[in-house]
Amino acid sequence: MYMPEGKRRLAREDWVEAALAAVAEGGVAAVAVEPIAARLGTTKGSFYWHFPNRAALLEAALAAWEERTTTAVIDEIANATEDPAGQLRTLIVRVIEAAEGDRVGPALLAAAGQPAVARAIDRVTRARVGLIVTVFSRLGFPLAEARSRALLAYSAYLGHAQLAHSTEGVLPDTAADRRAYLGDVMSVLTAGARPGTAGNARTADARRRTSDN
Amino acid sequence: MYMPEGKRRLAREDWVEAALAAVAEGGVAAVAVEPIAARLGTTKGSFYWHFPNRAALLEAALAAWEERTTTAVIDEIANATEDPAGQLRTLIVRVIEAAEGDRVGPALLAAAGQPAVARAIDRVTRARVGLIVTVFSRLGFPLAEARSRALLAYSAYLGHAQLAHSTEGVLPDTAADRRAYLGDVMSVLTAGARPGTAGNARTADARRRTSDN
DNA sequence: GGTCAACCATACGCGACCGTATGGTCGCTG
DNA sequence: CAGCGACCATACGGTCGCGTATGGTTGACC
């Protein structure tokens, strides 16, 4: 739960942070002016100076979320100089870890009924799926299959995030088990890649696993 | 949107149906007594005769959802006499279709913060994952790998449902494309099954595709 | 140290929803 | 057809959140 330090006056950004925290904890419906004001130790008077209304706060929060969970990641991966198999692994590991610690995404998916939320989700989804298609293409899959696998991979990611947050104990819980599970997933998703382009993911994974920890 | 026919008096069950419809359209928060009463063409007076309070309605709706989306399906699949590959295909096709037409599941996942919702999700998740593990075992995978693949498959299912509801146009949209995509998914998820137990999913799929349509 | 803009507190009216109270109305059954 | 239990309508008080209005504070700068 976000809480600015000290007793200084608040900036627009403080409200955005608090709104994201509220989404994480209570869903989009929890983006409510008065409760958030209370949590920030202030009142509505402050809020309505920085924003015209509740919807504007939500919009700002969505934009912030979009920026930091997608735009930033895509820049990083798309420009990476690693080999494609390494890119995929980087992507998966980074993104799965992020998903497990972040409740905002699932909460937003839930509220896809609201137009503002739907628009943000739409943009993020297309950007992410596009990125994954690129990675699978670089791995040597023809475009049609890259698309299928990208959709499967992204679906799995979304579902994984849900599972991580909703049902304690279905996903493997020790660090070793998690790593092994990720390895299995990698190898299932990349099995059949054209050799010579990127090699077999399972062996690549095994190689890495012995050296980096 | 549920609406009982005629002007007859209402039963408890009518309220439960209407509540599920409300969840589908507006999320758990939309399970509100007065709006639902209005939609049913009645008033709170009726509601508070059938239920002690709002929470009881939610509980009843969750129970109904749990029963029809999980218990029933599991009975059907687990007792099927089909070969394992056919069971998996049946499961996937049936369940994916159901997921695309049903907004209740995603809406509930969103509200996993509420204890009552969390409990229902927990039970449903474990039951479903357990079923899928069984199917993969019958396909010839050793238990550990069956578990990994089941989790991957279930994650993919959850994510697929999200995608189907949130982002128009990312998933393939013609019937043929969808069938092809499902085939791809099947073959990725089952690749490497011990031969002789169930055969190769892709060829099984292709065989079927030529004959059933 | 006065001034002006940035920032915040308080009070108010409004609507949505919850749950209770109380008095109908319906329809079966004797 | 009287009566009783099932079912429903209406009115009420309470809470919570939105948005507006209006009048403080605060602090940089002259």
- pLDDT by residue (tens digit) across A94-111? 888 888 888 899 889 888
- Confidence (pLDDT) at A2: 61
Question: H/E element holding A100?
Answer: helix A84-101
- Confidence (pLDDT) at B20: 96
Q: Quick check: A143 and A205 in contact, CB under 8 A?
A: no
Give a yes or no: residue A208 inside a domain: no
Which of B46, B39, B7 has the alpha carbon at shortest distance from B20? Answer: B39
Q: How close, in Å, is residue A161 to chain B by CA atoms? A: 8
Residues 129 through 168 of chain B touching chain A, CB cutoff 8 Å: 129, 145, 148-149, 151-152, 154-160, 162-163, 165-168
Residue range(s) defining the domain that contains residue B87:
12-190
Among chain A residues, the shortest Cα distance to B28 is held by A110
- pLDDT by residue (tens digit) across B130-165? 999 988 998 999 999 999 999 999 999 999 999 998
Give a yes or no: residue B29 inside a domain: yes
Give a yes or no: residue A3 inside a domain: no
Give a yes or no: residue A107 inside a domain: yes
- pLDDT by residue (tens digit) across A109-155? 888 889 999 999 999 999 999 999 988 998 999 999 999 999 999 99
Give a yes or no: residue B38 inside a domain: yes
Query: What value does the mean pLDDT of chain B take?
Result: 84
- CATH code for the domain of A96: 1.10.357.10
Which of A96, A201, A208 has the alpha carbon at shortest distance from A158? Answer: A96
d(CA B55, CA B59): 6
Number of domains in chain A: 1
Give a yes or no: residue A4 inside a domain: no
d(CA A50, CA A139): 48
Give a yes or no: residue B3 inside a domain: no
Whole-prediction pTM: 0.85
**Per-position DSSP letters for A75-135, written without gaps between them:** HHHHT--S-HHHHHHHHHHHHHHHHHH--HHHHHHHTTTSHHHHHHHHHHHHHHHHHHHHH
d(CA A153, CA A134): 13
- Confidence (pLDDT) at B208: 39
- pLDDT by residue (tens digit) across B12-66? 999 999 999 999 988 899 999 999 999 999 999 999 999 999 999 999 999 999 9
Give a yes or no: residue B202 inside a domain: no
Q: How far is residue A30 from each of residues A54, B113, B117, measured CA to CA in Å?
A: 11, 12, 17
**Tokens standing for B163?**
């995608």
Q: How close, in Å, is residue B81 to chain A by CA atoms? A: 28
Out of A55-64, A173-182, B81-90, B180-189, least confident range: B81-90
